[in-house]
Every structure is written in C-alpha cells, then in structure tokens.
Amino acid sequence: MFVNNAGMSLNGGTLENSASEIEAIIALNITAAARLAIAAGKAFGARGKGAIVNIASVLALAPEQFEGVYSGSKAFLLNLSHALAVNGREKGFHVQAVLPGATRTEIWERSGKDIDAFPAEMVMSADDLVDAALTGLDRGEEVTIPPLADEGQWKAYYAARLAMGPNLSRRDVAERYRASEAV
C-alpha cells in the first residue's frame, strides 16, 4: 500500500502568495504526489495487486471556500485518482482518494491559520479521519469523504459528471454558441 499523504497549504489568500510559495506547494502537492502515485501504480500494476491512497481534500469540490492553488492541487489529485483507478481496475490494484474536511493537525499552524477559529462541529480529529478512511478502503471505495453524512450527494454529483462524458467532445458547436443563434 502506498499512502500519498504529504501536503502543505499556503498562508494567504489566492492573490497573496509569492511565486516561490506557489512553486513550493505545486512541487509538493502536485509534482511529488503525481510522481509517487504513478511510480506506485506502475509497481502495483506489474504485481497485479496493491492499493494507493491519495489524501486529497473536500476543497477539491469546494474551491470557492479556500485559497485556490491549494484547492486546485487537491482537485488535481482527485482527478489523477479517478484516472489511476481506471488503470487499477484493469491491472488489479485499488486507488482511493480521501477527501478530509478541516482536520485537527499541524497543517493549520504551519500555514499561519487558527483551527480553533472554526466552529468545533466543523473540525474532525485526525484519529477519526484515519479510521473513517480505512473503513472507506475496506468498503472498496474509490472516493471517501469522511465528513459527508449523505453519501447520496456525492453519488449524484459523480453520476452527473459521468453523464456529461459522452457529450463533451463533438464535431458540432453547441447551438448556443452558433453565431446565427447568438444574434
């Protein structure tokens, strides 16, 4: 099993971070995460077994709520997980993306934020998060969202995305974009 956990967030809002801070988060949350997950996928694919656990974030689904490079890096990891899961199904390994909400860890202090500023009911303990992630893995989930009480919300979102799939690459321009229609 490979757990792709290392990650960081940034101190400021989307317009407040320096070029070097943006590069540092992309190097860790995207470049390293992708290289490690793909290396693990190659090794597990050759063995026909194994599991990759990618620690993403609920912010992959809620970019409006936080700094955009962090949430974008987690959307990247969720996207990569969906793609790798297809490879995993073909080659015999499992891929799980875990989407924690706010969790009481050192990441907040490290990025200059106060986790205690959140309402207590929004913050999960790391122990509960890890237990839930492992339960999700036991359930064979490809996406585990420990704080989401109504699993149907995720299923509806996922189904809506898949339903768009056959319509996303066409010879014909959609009617609303045709010049004659726009006049």
Ligand X SMILES: NC(=O)c1ccc[n+]([C@@H]2O[C@H](COP(=O)([O-])OP(=O)(O)OC[C@H]3O[C@@H](n4cnc5c(N)ncnc54)[C@H](OP(=O)(O)O)[C@@H]3O)[C@@H](O)[C@H]2O)c1
Residues making contact with ligand X (CB under 6 A): 5-8, 28, 55, 57, 100, 102-103, 105-107, 110
- Comparing every residue's Cβ against ligand X, the nearest one is 7
Residues 6+ apart with CB under 8 A from 109: 115
C-beta of 12: minimal distance to ligand X in Å?
A: 16
Of 76 and 91, CB closest to ligand X: 76
For residue 166 the two structure tokens come to 């056959």
Of 85 and 97, CB closest to ligand X: 97
Note whether 24 and 18 are within 8 A (CB): no
C-beta of 78: minimal distance to ligand X in Å?
A: 11
Q: At CA 164, angle to CA 137 and CA 168, rounded to 5?
A: 120
Q: Where are the alpha helices (DSSP H) in the chain?
A: 19-25, 33-47, 68-91, 107-110, 126-138, 151-164, 179-182
Of 27 and 86, CB closest to ligand X: 27
Q: Is the dihedral of CA 62, 68, 72, 78 positive or negative?
A: negative
Of 81 and 103, CB closest to ligand X: 103
C-beta of 162: minimal distance to ligand X in Å?
A: 25
C-beta of 108: minimal distance to ligand X in Å?
A: 7
C-beta of 70: minimal distance to ligand X in Å?
A: 7
**How does 4-24 read in b/e, with b if 16+ C-beta sit within 10 Å?**
beebebbeeeeeebeeeeeee
Of 100 and 136, CB closest to ligand X: 100
